[in-house]
Structure 1
Amino acid sequence: MNDKIEKLIKEMTLEEKASLCSGGGFWNTKAIERLGIPQIIMTDGPNGVRYSENAFDSPNGFKSKPATCFPTASALASSWDVDLVYEVGRAIGEECRSMGIHILLAPGVNMKRTPLCGRNFEYYSEDPFLAGEMGAAFVDGVQSMGVGTSLKHFACNNEEYQRMSISSEVDERTLREIYLTAFEKVVKKSKPWTVMCSYNKINGTYASENKKLLTDILKNEWGFEGIVISDWGATNDRIKGLEAGLDLEMPGPSPMNDQKIVEAVKSGKLDEEKLNETVRRYLNVLFKALENDTRLDYDKEKHHELARRAAEESMVLLKNEGRLLPLNGRIKSIAVIGSAAKEPIYQGGGSAQVTPTKIDIPFDEIQKLSQGIDVIYAEGYKGFDIDENLIVDAVEKAEKSDVAVIFAGLVRGMESEGYDRRDMRLPQNQVELIKRVAAVQKNTILVLAAGSPVELDFIDNIPAILLSHLAGQASGSAVARVLFGKVSPCGKLAETYPVRLEDNPSYLNYPGEDGKVIYGERIYIGYRYYDKKHIKPRFPFGYGLSYTSFEYSNLRFSKDMMVDDDKLTVSFDIRNTGDIAAKEIAELYIKPLSSKVSRPEKELKGFKKVFLNPGESKTVSIEIEKRDLSYFDTSYGEFVAESGEYEILIGSSSQDIRLKGIIKYQNNKVYRKHLTADSPLKDWLEDEKGRALLMSVLPPQMKERLSNANSEAMWFIGSIPLRKMVMMSRGALTDDIIDRLVKQI
């Protein structure tokens, strides 16, 4: 294959090479018929194929071909089930093959920094470990069908506000630990064919021309071998972009930018070998795509059933007082309330919006499973305006029934690409309805459809809440099956639900001003922040109830000490102590017991989902490694695991820790700080060579004062930069001596 690619590059004209650096249309790349090079077809999206031969083929705008609308990423992440996400990815890959699609523009692994981001439903989590695991499973599934993926949006695209111009101002440690980690995991583990750069700037430089991001880190450090493509319209300066590592500009065609590339090569501004490398990468992806270029059929009903199972696995039972759920034979009548019961809220807007092959209607599905129970319907609300007649009708029907099931959520248009939400509230007409119904019906169940957290200040009066997320075209039947106990809810939150928007760590630094958004919370996003500040959220990260109960026991380690690049296996037992077969998600967190830098109270580093029959017990094993103990040290420019003790925490949520144990880690690598004239004396003294050099030139009295690391003198003098000692030593040290020390170190 390499020989074929090199032969093609030699046969191409400069203009032909440049033409492959931009698309040939909205969804396709360019073909070079003279050389037998065909085009590649790509399309959205993360929760189902969104494709049309023409980008805007109807008077009303974009209209895509029917495809299975699976649960959105925010829902799938709440399943904590990598095998399930792989299945969904594989199914979407099949549907791509049925339409002749070569590359799917998904998944999105951006962090949920603020609950208001309009595309949060497209992203997996506030936690990079969980997002990385989900993203890798999805990529593996899609690419197992011979269809490529495009990992997006690289990077720090955490709001839609001014997304094409805003500069995300983020420090190096935060960038590496939080905002790049999921990308790194997916690139290294699953090798996506393409990575899509984001619209925004990172620290003042557009992502599309950010060499540090696209080449130094992605290609050189992580070993990414595919192509970097722009988000649609994300290109700024095409020559800077090409030099930085942006291989393909989308959409196309872009004859002006192609010509700029030709002129840059001819003038010597751009090395032709850089262009050759871009073409080489592109052709490598092209030939991968051509290996599986045959159309396949898929079973629409089978995929619908998978969508339903994925929805069931993702739903989170937030509250269940008095075991109101599951509904059973003691219920004689149900009032199903809310327009969303007949017009389900199942997906968000923008480039992830799918034309479904079919839709399960919640009210219809509840009727199917009611088994003689009297089921009545009340619309309750319509649009955003409060309609007193609709509310009165709903209240009357709820009062006369044994149970009221209210379907509510973020209606169409509230969650979408292109803009952020204004607040965390549900529409006021829904809130009014919920409060009025709950006032007359003590057995009120709220089914909440939302791709991101909402405020629930009425929660005390609602005994049961089921979060359905944006669960796709089969969400209606999935909700009904969970309500009636055909399946026990087993999803857990992949993001923290704050009590109010003001509690969110990004609150004071969102959406930004003067073209910048400051990531002032640094590494403390999501549960990391709530833990550190001891702020109790509405529902914590990793939280979710079941129709049964589980007991954790017998924590053990394969070894007590990890050394250097060792791995260690953590094992424990889980038993189903209830009378219903169900699945439990066990979560593993790691807490450093000491560190020279500020670190989170704990961080997720492993999880397992297990099925248990009543009374059944199983052993769960999770492997951890050096990286799981590490933080990014900017002094050394790498992830560092400090020697010392680490607490292993096993929980049913981030705040429901069931088991604890301590392991030790010994790192035998010697780390030396980069010492300069501006480094404090303490850093020089902590470095073996630096200490020897410094002591050789200090006057005796100062040597004595600095000999004790815990002395009062050290606390004061130790913070002084070496350069300042020219003045502080009263002439004992000179600029020449300082320069000599720096050269010697």
Structure 2
Amino acid sequence: MFQDAKVAVADVIATMTDEEKVDILSGRGLWKTASIARLNIPSVIMTDGTYGVRYSTTQIDAGDDDEDSLQQFLAVVNQDADDDTGMFGTTLPATCFPNGNLIGCSWDYDLTYRMGQALAAECHQMGVQLLLGPGINTRRTPLAGRAYEYYSEDPVINGDLAAALISGLQDHGIGASLKHFACNNSEIDRTNTSSDVSERALREIYLAGFERAIARSAPWTVMSAYNPVNGVQAAENHWLLTQVLRQEWGYDGLVVSDWHAIKDRPVSLAAGTELDMPESKPRKAQLLTALKTGEVDRQAVDAACGRMLDFVRKCLAAKPTVPGADLDRHHALARDIAAESIVLLKNEKAVLPLDPATTKHLLIVGDGAVKPQIQGSGSATTNPYLVDIPLSQIEARAAGRFVVEHLPSPDGTAMEIEAHVARICERARDADAVIVFAENEKGRNGEGNDRDTLDIVAAQNAVIAALAGVTDKLVVVLTMPDAVEMPWLETVHAALACFYPGQGGGEAIARILFGEQNPCGKLSATMPVRIEDIPGWHSYPGEHGRHLYSEGIFVGYRYYDLKKVAPAFPFGHGLSFTTFGYENLAIDASVISPGSSCNVTLTIRNTGMVPGKEIVQIYVRPVAPGLKRPIRELKAFAKIALQPGESRSVTFSLAPRDFQHFDTSRGSWVLQAEAFVIEAAASSRDIRLSQVVPCRSEPLGRPAFTEHSPTSAILGDAAAAETVRAFIAEKLAVSDDEARIITEKIRGSFLGFHESLSWFIGDSISRDDGVKLLSDLNNGTCG
């Protein structure tokens, strides 16, 4: 019945029993939706896949045994990417692409789309119909355990790259699940600690990336987060899931819970969560009882079933666009994405790229050269089809032309570490260059576990500091989930930020070290000098079940700019082996007015000697905006490839929202400023060109008067003051002059209207009359 396209979904729902409706709105086991044989409704298979398809045969096949399913689920969440004890034993090999923390540094829509296309091919080959990603929670703090999965601290990058990945998946027949909606920014007691965020910060920062991605790519599903938002579980939050997501944004896809995120199933359904994952017999019983007793509205249940069945039909209709997944081709793509994303943080005296013709002895230090940390830990962890070993890829470049020597990371007792560091320094004296592979402390990141430090391994700090005194070519290659502290930064000559580069990272690193790939990645999150500089550090991770987002809208670079704090490396920073010139900034609008958009055009020129790519960033800086706003905000970007001497004109379109801020007193986006400075930049701290455009602010009605509004505010409005004067004259039966004197006496009062009148005239005017007057003023009905 169901698979007959001529049969309407509403007709299918009309034939369903209450038990079948509850079944279809719940999972079957860990990774499937429920099937109903009587109605020919099949299961949909889903799995994790933020940066790779994690298909476990035992986990996906496990289903009816609750205890077994729970154990399988916990095994997924708690797995460690560094564990060698067989964690991938039942997981099919797949391409482990760079994690979100590095993909974000690509600022590359096309590459991210191609990654989505490759993931779709692997899903089809494994029989997966819904991939649970991308995750785009704002990287509010580098300590967050799942920060490695996410793209950026900025909603523009988050939204645009998410839209690219979603389109790459769904254009090729695989559904995406945009997650985690919303404010999943800490793993500490993540299902109970409330993310307490002002509405303005929600609208401008934390929801904006989701809104942008949904508008540009229409994901088949949105996944709600584990945490409460302002005291209400995200999966049970009517304001978030119905008012904002559906009514304001017009989203018509399916909302699915994060795994076991629902605490009250009837409330979650009423709030807008259609699919409860994974299967939970207690939660199904809750919903069935609520349905039979009328606690939940039958129409709401039927509407949820309708969205669920529409989703199943969409999955059934999707067909693969290629015959199978080419894992070798996907490995090559993983290499390319990593090479396009790795950030050259520092390159003093152009020590990079290394020249194989003049290099005789290259010293490689660190375990990361032979056992690379390619990904983070938790439910997103992928069984890599193949892993490029950095040392092997570097040795391949030597090809007998020079000696490559490797020494492991210092380890052991303090005395043993000291001796090891001394040996490394002794060997470094004979080397033409030294490359140190360094990483953050192991076991301090990943799902369920926020970091408590930004330190790298202490012994690695010691060896880098020691090497700085014995070699004039010291290169540090960093892998990490997010920012780390670099106390040796001023003494090293070059540094690469590789974050988690995926299975092709070893080859990508070698390409950049030897100049085969000109680095073009730029930081998508600010790197602080020290942990105490993190925005909101003073209120992290919260207390008594509440986590106050105390920095408000000033997240990431917005905070560093406002506070004039110098970061280690700013948002948008990334060096190249060539140089770029910015020329001829032109804006096609003479004024920014309500509802208007504009185009920004400039010329980018490669002024160096080698081909390269520049990521051009467009920021908008408001002048005298009224409400406090960030100094500047990213609004558009593009990656431009140029040959030496080549120039290219590039145009960016700025929409009305790019100039607005959210006014909570009016519950809407408004345009208020004297002017805007439109900036073309190489980073948030490297502004190359700028132009001022005047603004014609939109007329804003005054805020509504209440009985608690200060009398001074009411009488500060000329029209309201005249109405109040006439009101006093009528109610007290006094002349206009006498009413004017009374009005002037109470004009400066900070008390409410009725209380102020009472001080001067007693109870001659009732409170009800005063409240009615204010209501008439608000409604414009005063004559």
What is the TM-score of this pair, normalised by structure 1? 0.95
Q: Tell me the equivalent position of 2:770.
A: 738
1:317 match: secondary structure: strand
**Does residue 1:26 correspond to 2:7, yes or no?**
no
Q: Tell me the equivalent position of 1:341.
A: 369
Q: Tell me the equivalent position of 2:285.
A: 259
1:71-110 matched pairs, under 5 angstroms = 71-110=98-137
The CA distance in 2 between the partners of 1:61 and 1:477, in whole Å, is 25
Q: Tell me the equivalent position of 1:285.
A: 311
**Cα pair 1:228 1:246 within 8 Å, conserved:** yes
Q: Tell me the equivalent position of 1:123.
A: 150
The CA distance in 2 between the partners of 1:686 and 1:553, in whole Å, is 49
1:562 match: secondary structure: coil
Distance 1:374 1:668, change over 3 A: same
1:210-289 matched pairs, under 5 angstroms = 210-252=237-279, 254-289=280-315
Instruction: Find 1:725's aligned residue among 739, 749, 756.
Output: 756
Q: Tell me the equivalent position of 1:634.
A: 664
Superposed displacement of residue 331, structure 1:
2.3
Superposed displacement of residue 576, structure 1:
0.9
Superposed displacement of residue 169, structure 1:
1.1
The CA distance in 2 between the partners of 1:34 and 1:260, in whole Å, is 24
**Cα pair 1:339 1:381 within 8 Å, conserved:** no
**Cα pair 1:384 1:428 within 8 Å, conserved:** no
Instruction: Find 1:426's aligned residue among 447, 456, 460.
Output: 456
Question: Structure 1, unaligned stretches of length 5 or more?
Answer: 708-712
**Cα pair 2:527 2:569 within 8 Å, conserved:** yes
Instruction: Find 1:330's aligned residue among 358, 377, 397.
Output: 358
**Cα pair 2:671 2:698 within 8 Å, conserved:** no
Distance 1:387 1:650, change over 3 A: same
**Does residue 1:155 correspond to 2:155, yes or no?**
no
Aligned residue identity for 1:419 = N
Q: Tell me the equivalent position of 2:438.
A: 408
Superposed displacement of residue 678, structure 1:
2.1
Instruction: Find 1:453's aligned residue among 465, 477, 483.
Output: 483
**Cα pair 1:379 1:394 within 8 Å, conserved:** no
The CA distance in 2 between the partners of 1:721 and 1:127, in whole Å, is 42
The CA distance in 2 between the partners of 1:369 and 1:706, in whole Å, is 87
What is the TM-score of this pair, normalised by structure 2? 0.90
Aligned residue identity for 1:366 = I
Superposed displacement of residue 260, structure 1:
2.3
1:182-193 matched pairs, under 5 angstroms = 182-193=209-220
**Cα pair 2:440 2:454 within 8 Å, conserved:** no
2:437 match: secondary structure: strand
**Cα pair 2:619 2:678 within 8 Å, conserved:** yes
Distance 1:735 1:135, change over 3 A: same
Q: Tell me the equivalent position of 1:381.
A: 410
**Cα pair 2:578 2:609 within 8 Å, conserved:** yes
Q: Tell me the equivalent position of 1:51.
A: 55
- The 10-residue stretch of structure 1 (428-437 or 157-166) with the greater mean CA deviation from structure 2: 428-437
1:323-722 matched pairs, under 5 angstroms = 323-328=350-355, 329-370=357-398, 372-381=401-410, 387-410=417-440, 412-642=442-672, 644-668=674-698, 670-681=700-711, 683-684=713-714, 690-697=720-727, 717=748, 720-722=751-753
- The 10-residue stretch of structure 1 (55-64 or 15-24) with the greater mean CA deviation from structure 2: 55-64
Q: Deviations over 1:90-129 (max 9, x none)?
A: 1111111111111111011111111110110101111112
Q: Deviations over 1:204-224 (max 9, x none)?
A: 111111111111111111111
The CA distance in 1 between the partners of 2:178 and 2:160, in whole Å, is 13
Superposed displacement of residue 144, structure 1:
1.1
1:439 match: secondary structure: coil
Distance 1:346 1:682, change over 3 A: farther
Distance 1:327 1:384, change over 3 A: farther
Q: Deviations over 1:294-346 (max 9, x none)?
A: 69411111111111110011111111110101111332211011010011111
Superposed displacement of residue 595, structure 1:
1.7
Distance 1:462 1:207, change over 3 A: same
**Cα pair 1:379 1:390 within 8 Å, conserved:** no
Superposed displacement of residue 189, structure 1:
1.6
Distance 1:695 1:492, change over 3 A: farther
**Cα pair 1:107 1:139 within 8 Å, conserved:** yes
- The 10-residue stretch of structure 1 (168-177 or 730-739) with the greater mean CA deviation from structure 2: 730-739
1:520 match: secondary structure: coil
Aligned residue identity for 2:354 = L
1:400 match: secondary structure: coil
Q: Tell me the equivalent position of 2:223.
A: 196
Q: Give the count of matched residue pairs.
A: 738
**Cα pair 1:119 1:415 within 8 Å, conserved:** yes
1:553 match: secondary structure: strand
The CA distance in 2 between the partners of 1:126 and 1:701, in whole Å, is 60
2:33 match: secondary structure: coil
Superposed displacement of residue 153, structure 1:
0.8
Q: Deviations over 1:467-490 (max 9, x none)?
A: 111111000000000010011111
**Cα RMSD between the aligned structures?**
2.3
**Cα pair 2:338 2:502 within 8 Å, conserved:** yes
The CA distance in 1 between the partners of 2:157 and 2:375, in whole Å, is 22
Q: Tell me the equivalent position of 1:321.
A: 348
The CA distance in 2 between the partners of 1:687 and 1:41, in whole Å, is 61
The CA distance in 1 between the partners of 2:39 and 2:438, in whole Å, is 56
Aligned residue identity for 2:54 = R
Aligned residue identity for 2:170 = Q
Superposed displacement of residue 2, structure 1:
8.6
Distance 1:402 1:218, change over 3 A: same
**Cα pair 1:42 1:101 within 8 Å, conserved:** yes
Q: Percent identity?
A: 39
Superposed displacement of residue 162, structure 1:
0.7
Q: Tell me the equivalent position of 1:139.
A: 166
Q: Tell me the equivalent position of 1:710.
A: none
Distance 1:688 1:307, change over 3 A: farther
The CA distance in 1 between the partners of 2:244 and 2:6, in whole Å, is 25
The CA distance in 1 between the partners of 2:739 and 2:673, in whole Å, is 31
Superposed displacement of residue 690, structure 1:
3.8
Aligned residue identity for 1:246 = T
Question: Structure 2, unaligned stretches of length 5 or more?
Answer: 60-71, 76-84, 729-735, 779-783
**Cα pair 2:724 2:743 within 8 Å, conserved:** no
The CA distance in 1 between the partners of 2:55 and 2:716, in whole Å, is 60
Superposed displacement of residue 687, structure 1:
5.6
Distance 1:399 1:669, change over 3 A: same
Instruction: Find 1:65's aligned residue among 68, 85, 92.
Output: 92
